[in-house]
Amino acid sequence: MSQHVKQRLIEAGLILGDADLGDFTRGHVSIRDPENPALFFMKPHSLGFEEITMENIVICNLDGEKVGGGGRRHSEVFIHSEIYKARPDLNSVIHSHPKYATIWCSSERPWKIVSQACVAFSDGLGYYQDTVNLIRSPETGRGVARGLAGHKVVMMRGHGVTVTGVSVEEAVIRTLTLENACHDQVLCLAMGGEIVEFAADDIASLTANLDGREQYVVNFDYLARKAKRRLS
């Protein structure tokens, strides 16, 4: 099982790197160990998303301590450890600095359903505004977890985003969808004029169609194949 989880982590890194979400080596992704929920596998420090290997994956506990793996523990490990502590229902966490999402999280503008991508976050976004600095302590990690609360995403003002999922497939597709949604928001605002949102029942119907395990896995697998072809 752990080999499969590590392979999924590697594939997640390839997808996120292929989407140029790494901001050099600053992005990171993790998956909770399904055999021991008190541990999680994580991308190492000082490497890009696409450089994750079986040998350098880091294993951490819920205190953010490295307990195994060949890589160096990431300095922002506490984003992951504190979210996993606070949200036992979540099994994957991604932190990245997408261009449009980072712009949006500093705007304090209300979220508008202007496209299909925006529908994925129609139930709201979490916000963390305590600092623009790196999250290098359990205390600031707990702040991010509080900002997430019961949401899928926490927008970190001026810093980036942290996206979660019940699975790594869900977290990865959600991260890419969030950037697309924020891009749509920014462009609509730049165009000016009134933004007309869709009806609530229409939004609920699309959410039901798109927010399913199979959809996340199918799209994750496609993007993994695409990223591998580019590297071959």
Which entry of 11, 76, 82, 179 is annotated as an active-site residue?
76
The answer to whether the beta carbons of residues 119 and 113 sit under 8 Å apart is yes
Give CA–CA dist 174/163, Å, rounded.
Answer: 7
Q: Which residues of 175-185 are buried (b: 16+ CB within 10 A; e: fewer)?
A: bbbbbbbbbbb
- Cα(36)–Cα(44) distance, rounded to whole angstroms? 20
Query: 23: alpha, beta or left, given left = phi > 0 and alpha = psi -120 to 50?
Result: left
* 170 counts as catalytic: no
Distance, in Å, from the CA atom of 216 to the CA atom of 173, rounded to the nearest integer, reads 6
Tokens describing residue 112: 């508008």
Q: Which residues are catalytic?
A: 76
